[in-house]
Structure 1
Amino acid sequence: MIHQLRIYEIFESSKAAFHVRFRDHAARLMRQHGFSIRAMWETATEGRTEFVYLLEWPDEAAMTARWADFMADEEWNRIKEETGADRPLVGAIEDRVLWLVDYSPTI
């Protein structure tokens, strides 16, 4: 099992719209595509607001395949276009794959 840490820069001016889109659309569609969202957070560092979430995957092949399916999803692409047409909802995106070390407590 592996985990994936995603960090999105979000903007104060569009933060509410971002959360609506993620909560009402992205998270739902991700679950339909086999994503296991373990937790979500918001944080602020040095003048930057971030939305952070943790995914759990059985292996890298599943992660790659499910992301490809999600990114090709017609409904998701339509929603992304409609909700981000007048202003960007996300800036920089960081993506990290995490492998547990043998002495880590299980999550």
Structure 2
Amino acid sequence: MLVELRIYYMYPGKMKAINDRFANHTLNIFAKHDMKVTEFWEDLDPEHNRLYYVLEFPDREERDAKFEAFRNDPEWNRVKNESELDGPIVEKVESVFLKNAPYFKKD
């Protein structure tokens, strides 16, 4: 299994906009493309203005195919454009790809 930690660095004052976009649109579009989100967090320090979430995929090939389909989804493109009429929301996205350490087992 491939785990992807995505870190969104928002422009100042855009945390509400990104949360609204995920809550009202993005998560539903992810589900349409069978993209499994397992965790979601906001940075405890509001000065950092970051959002974190985790997705799980069987492998990198499937991850790349699903993100390609997501990025080309007409609904996503409409939502993204409409939500950014007052300017961009996300300054930078960082992806960290992770795998389980062989010695660690979840309860």
Q: TM-score, normalised by structure 2?
A: 0.91
Amino acid at match of 2:94: E
* TM-superposition CA deviations, 1:50-105 (whole Å, max 9, x none): 10000011111110100000000011001100101212211111011111111122
Alignment of 1:22-61 (within 5 A): 22-44=22-44, 47-61=47-61
Unaligned runs of 5+ residues in structure 1 are none
Closer, same or farther: CA 57–21 of 1 in aligned 2, 3 Å: same
Identity %: 30
Moved over 4 A (4+): none
More moved, 50-59 vs 86-95: 86-95
Task: Please state which structure has a larger fraction of its residues in strand.
Answer: 1
Closer, same or farther: CA 6–89 of 1 in aligned 2, 3 Å: same
CA RMSD of aligned residues (A): 1.7
CA distance in 1, matches of 2:51, 2:82: 20
Q: Which residue of 1 aligns with 2:86?
A: 86
More moved, 6-15 vs 17-26: 6-15
